[in-house]
Structures are given as C-alpha cells and as structure tokens.
Structure 1
Amino acid sequence: MDEKIKDKVWTGILYIISLFVVVLLMSLIGYIFVKGIRYLTLEFLFGSPKIGEAGGGIGPQLFNSFYMLIIALLITIPLGIGASIYLFEYAKEGKLLNFIRLCIDTMASLPSIVVGLFGLLVFVKLTGWGFTLLSGALAVSIINLPAFTRVSESALKSASVGVKEASLGLGATRFQTIFKVILPSAMPQILTGVILASGRIFGEAAALIYTAGMSAPMLSFSPDKLFSSNSPFSLFRPAETLSVYIWQINSEGMVPDASRIGDGSSAVLILMVLFFNLFARFIGKKVYQSYTGKK
C-alpha cells in the first residue's frame, strides 16, 4: 500500500476515534444535564435537606463543596508548585531524586478510600478534631498533590526552554528567573493542573466520608454567629459535600425523592465544574497577561 494512502487511512481512523470519544463524553454530560436541569430551582439550590420528607434542597452541601474547594486549593497549589520548583531546579539527579519521584508516582496511584482511612486515623482521631472541613481538605489535598506536582514540573520544564539561559545570561538570579520568567510562562499549563484538581475535589466522595463526615449543619450567616464554632466559615465543623450527599441519599434511602435530588445534584456538579473551568481560565489569562504584557 502506498505510504500516502496509509497516512490518510490512519489519520481517518484517529479522527473517528477522537470523534467517538467527544460524542460519548458530550452524550454523557448532556444526558445528566438534561435529566437534572428541570429540578434546578432557587428552593432546590438554596434550601436545606428535609430528612424523611420530599422537597428538600442542597443549600448546605453546595456551600460546603465550594468552601472545600477553596480550602483544598489553598493547600494544594502552594505545596504543589513549591515541590515542582524543587524537583525542577534544585534537586540533584541521583538515588534520592529517583526515590522522591517513585514516592510521588506511588501516591498518585493510591485509591481514595485508602487516603480516606489514613485521614480518619490521622486528621480525625490522632489530632482530636473529629469530622471537620479541614480534615476533608487535607485528605483531598493528599490525593491531588502528586498529580498536580508532576503537571507543574512538566509545565516549568517546557516553559524554561529558551528563556532560562537567556534570563541567567542577562544577570538575573536563579530565584528571579524562576518567579519572574519561568513561572509566569508556565501559568497556562499549571492552570490545567488546577482545573484537574478542582474536578477531583468536586467529585470526591470516598475520602470525604471518613474525614469531613456525612452531616451538614444548618448554616447561619447572621453577624453574631460568623465567628462562633458553628460558623459557616469554621474549618472545624462537619462539612458534607454535594458528592457525598448524592451517595448518601441513594444508598441509605433518607428521602422519598432521592432520584430527584440525585439528578438535580448531578446537574449542579456539572455546572460547578464548567463555571470553575471558565473562571480559572479567565483568571489565569489575566495573570499571564499581567506578567508578559500580552493582550
């Protein structure tokens, strides 16, 4: 067979496979969204669950999911970028570096249920905190750190090509080169890691069952309770997230309209991930433009 024909055939096969994957993904997302969009009312989004009764909402769980996302990213991003900078610039090739990379790869393959049990032993029982939002945020940070570190390291390596030597040659220090030249250039790729980590946080359930708990206390935003132990912004309170709530109502039969809440909550999760992706890309673009001067 002629080489040009072979090239066209394999190119066509790759296009077909790519199209199949895209169609399958869009069909799955569309099915979940269309099935749950009819339940998205203000009462459903901001109301509280009604245990044993129909017509409850997901307000506390929705707030807990966003709050968990913020706290977990505040832990994951600095540690992940710091670790990637060390591996990229300061670590010396050898047995120690190979051992560190092996540990990172091993941690990345750990099942979330194992991390959840580890969080139960350390963050819940050993510290004496109990089931808290901070325990859950630390657990999902452990899950996300290995993958985010590797993505950030790869981003720094690709961004350093052609600019690292030029920056050092102009008299910049290693610290200035990393934080003023390489890191801003790697921001779009690092942002991809942030988006992947956020999707994992939104959808995580197994690890959070054992660390953040399966209860969502009534949230009061009155000024006199904002600084109390039961404040919505307290890190040391139980925080059932939306994904955990979906699992709970469908497995324990807590409410008679579990299918309605499950369908609506699934649609909300898709909208949350989409919203955060767009928002993160917008912020990342602005940060990249501010460092590079591009518009």
Structure 2
Amino acid sequence: MSAGTKAPVNPFRLHKSLNHFYNRAFTVLVWLVGIITILFICGLLFLILQKGLPKLDFAFLYGLPSEIDEGGGIGPALFNSFYVLIIALVISIPLGMAAGIYLAEFAPNNKFIAFIRICVEGLASVPSIIFGLFGIAIFVEAMGVGLTILGGAVSLAFLNLPVLTRVTEEAIRAVPVEMKNASFALGGTHLQTIRRVLIPVALNGIITGICLVAGRAFGESAVIILTAGVSTSGENWDFSLFSPGATLAVHLWYVQSEAIVPDAQEIAEKAAAVLVFVVLLINLVFRIPLWINSRKMR
C-alpha cells in the first residue's frame, strides 16, 4: 500500500464504537431521569412534612376533631386508620399468600388457570372506588350493617387480595428450581419444602408486596368513604367493629372540602404530614424482617 493511499474503514470497529456511544448515552439518560425522579419525590415529601411537622403536638394527635371551634385533633381518625389497616391485613395476608402459593405450586397449567391469572391481574389494577361500591352492595345493602369499620376493613382486604396474590405467586416462582429439587432429594415433603425453602427464600418479595398494600390501604380514602363513612364515633379507643370508621385520609379530605372550622388549612397540613410520616414508618417497619431474613440467609 502506497503512502498516499488511505486504509479502509473497518465496519466492525465502527459498529463497536456506535454501540459504545449508545450504551454511554443510555446510561447517562437513565441516571439523569433517576436523579430527577428522586429529587422530585424528596422535594414533594419535604414540602408536605415541612409545612405540617413543626406544628404537630400531642394534643393534635390525641385530640377529638372539632366541627366548629379551632384546635381540633385527629385522635379517633388516626386510631381508625391503624385499626382498619390491621384488620384488613389480618384478612388479606393469609388469603393472598395461600392463593399465590396455590397458583405457583399446585394449580394445573390449563386455560382455566390462565384465565384466573388474567382476572387477578385485572382486579389488581381496578380503581379502588369499584371495591367501595362492592362493599356498599354487601355490607350496606345486603347485610344492612351500615357504614362501619367492619365494612371498610373487609373492603380494603378485597382491595389488597389481588396484589398480594400476584406478588406471592411471582416471588415463589422466582425461587431457583434447584433449591426446590434439593429439598425433595433430602426427603422433604411438598409442605415442608414450601414452609422451609420456598417461603423463606421468597420472603423478601412477599414482604415488599405487603409493605406496598399496607401503605396503599393506610392512605386509601375512596373505599373508606363509601363503606365506613366520613365520621367517627368521637372516642379515641373505640374497638367496636360497627362504629363509623373514618380514617385519617378521609378526615384530611373532609377538612379540605367540607369543614367550616377556621383553622381547616392548618389541620389539613398537619394531617397530611402525619399521613406521609406514618406511611414512611410502615415501610421502615416492614423492612426490619427483610434485614433479619437477609442475615439468616448469609
């Protein structure tokens, strides 16, 4: 080759350079979008907490709500939020996990089960107000119990069931087949394999799903308005399942839209801060079993 002749361009090297450029550009784009999203979420949380947390006191947390005078609290609504949440989780967690385990381990692979999975996925994306209307049809009209804590809690359990079922099924299916076969090889029964191998390994995914539905249920308002009402019994520790069951999210909506108290805006800001703080606390509490389980699995 003479000195004045140019070397031919290697197409493979050019293709490799383009792939490297696209890879770097996509990485930068993902980082940029991720950072912007995180900053937006943190800014939103800071805005809500910054307005309400400095004004909080125990009198507000334990006080009774006021219809006319200033200085009302959120005691009954806050108690109802935890009470309804606990009842809903007690109902939905065993049923959702059992359904998920059945679909992952026992259900035959046929068109009917495939149709059931489609129905479960569809229910997981149905608006919550539909479950509220379902709760009205059962508890208010069919059973005639009215707007109660029981109706709100069971309706929330129905809302949580599809999500817990799908999360449990996917978490169980994600366990490596080798671990399951090793349990069978050591003489373990199917039930022992599920209890001692599949559930402990899939526990991270299952608890993450429980954490998501718990936070959603605690902040849910549409279902509670339709099935438990917008008022409370006026007592801080009312354990009756047939009492009105307005929660903190419902009380926040009511204060912002219907209340006539002079300090409605301040009450709404403080209630929103409590609601966000409790949801963050729920996520933190549900992370503790994950940390314990990860230490055991090492």
TM-score normalised to the size of structure 2? 0.90
Query: Alpha-carbon deviation of 1:9?
Result: 1.1
Structure 1 unaligned residues grouped into runs of 5+: 222-231
Query: Are the aligned partners of 1:69 and 1:201 in contact in 2 as well (CA < 8 Å)?
Result: yes
* The one of 205, 208, 215 aligned to 1:192: 208
- Give the corresponding residue for 2:8: none
CA distance in 2, matches of 1:204, 1:71: 14
CA distance in 1, matches of 2:223, 2:85: 14
Q: Are residues 1:268 and 2:295 paired? A: no
Equivalent AA in structure 1 for residue 109 of structure 2? E
C-alpha RMSD of matched pairs (Å)? 1.5
Render the CA deviation track for 1:99-126: whole Å, top value 9, x for unaligned.
Answer: 1112112211221112111101112221
- Equivalent-residue separation in structure 2 for 1:162 and 1:262 (angstroms): 53
Q: Choose which of 121, 124, 128 in structure 1 pairs with 2:137.
A: 121
Is the alpha carbon distance of 1:3 and 1:294 closer, same or farther for their aligned partners in structure 2, counting shifts above 3 Å? closer
> How far apart, CA to CA, are the structure 1 residues paired with 2:152 and 2:229?
8
Q: Which residue of 2 aligns with 1:208?
A: 224
Q: C-alpha distance in 2, partners of 1:294/1:109?
A: 33
Unaligned stretches of 5+ residues in structure 2: 1-16
- 1:142-161 deviation line (CA, Å, top 9, x unaligned): 11111121111111111243
Q: What letter is aligned with 1:255?
A: V
Q: What residue is the counterpart of 2:108 in the other structure?
A: 92
The aligned amino acid for 1:275 is L
Matching residue's letter, 1:253: A
Structure 1 residue 154 corresponds to structure 2 residue 170: yes
The residue number in structure 2 matching 1:54 is 70
Distance 1:78 1:187 in 2: 14
SS of 2:120's equivalent in the other structure is: helix
Match of 2:33 among 17, 25, 41: 17
Q: Distance in 1 between matches of 2:75 and 2:85?
A: 16
What are the Cα deviations for residues 66-100 of structure 1, in whole angstroms up to 9, with x where unaligned?
A: 11111111011001100000000000011110111
* Distance in 2 between residues matched to 1:201 and 1:263, nearest whole Å: 20
Could you say which residue in structure 2 is the equivalent of 1:217? 233
After superposition, what is the alpha-carbon deviation per residue over 1:127-178, rounded to whole angstroms, capped at 9, x for unaligned?
1221111110111111111112111111111124321111111111111101
- The residue number in structure 2 matching 1:279 is 285
Give 1:112's match in structure 2, choosing from 108, 123, 128: 128
The residue identity in structure 1 corresponding to 2:285 is F
Mapped partners of 1:173, 1:143: distance in 2 = 33
TM-score computed with the length of structure 1 as normaliser: 0.91
Deviations 1:151-207, CA, capped at 9 Å, x for gaps = 111111112432111111111111110111110111111110011001111111011
Letter of the structure 2 residue corresponding to residue 180 of structure 1:
R
Q: What secondary structure sits across from 2:167 in the alignment?
A: helix
Contact conserved, 1:76 with 1:144, CA < 8 A, in 2? yes
2:87 is aligned to 71
Task: Read off the aligned partner of 1:133 and give its amino acid letter.
Answer: I
8 Å Cα contact 1:156-1:186 kept in structure 2? yes
Mapped to 2, the partners of 1:161 and 1:152 lie a distance apart of 16
Relative distance call for 1:284 and 1:15 in structure 2 (3 A) is: closer
Whether contact under 8 Å (1:32, 1:266) holds in the other structure is yes
Quick one: distance in 1 between partners of 2:92 and 2:36? 34
Write the distance in 1 (CA, Å) between the matches of 2:22 and 2:176: 37
- What corresponds to 2:250 in structure 1? 244
3-state secondary structure, aligned to 1:159? coil
| Matched positions, count | 282
Q: Give the partner amino acid of 2:189.
A: T
8 Å CA contact 1:188–1:285 kept in 2: the answer is no
Distance 1:293 1:242 in 2: 37
Counterparts of 1:200 and 1:209 in 2: how far apart (Å)?
15
1:48 & 1:261 partners in 2: Cα distance? 12
Alignment pair present for 1:101 and 2:122? no
Per-residue CA deviations over 1:207-226 (Å, capped at 9, x if unaligned) read 110111111112265xxxxx
1:49–1:58 CA contact under 8 A, matched in 2:
yes
Larger radius of gyration: 2
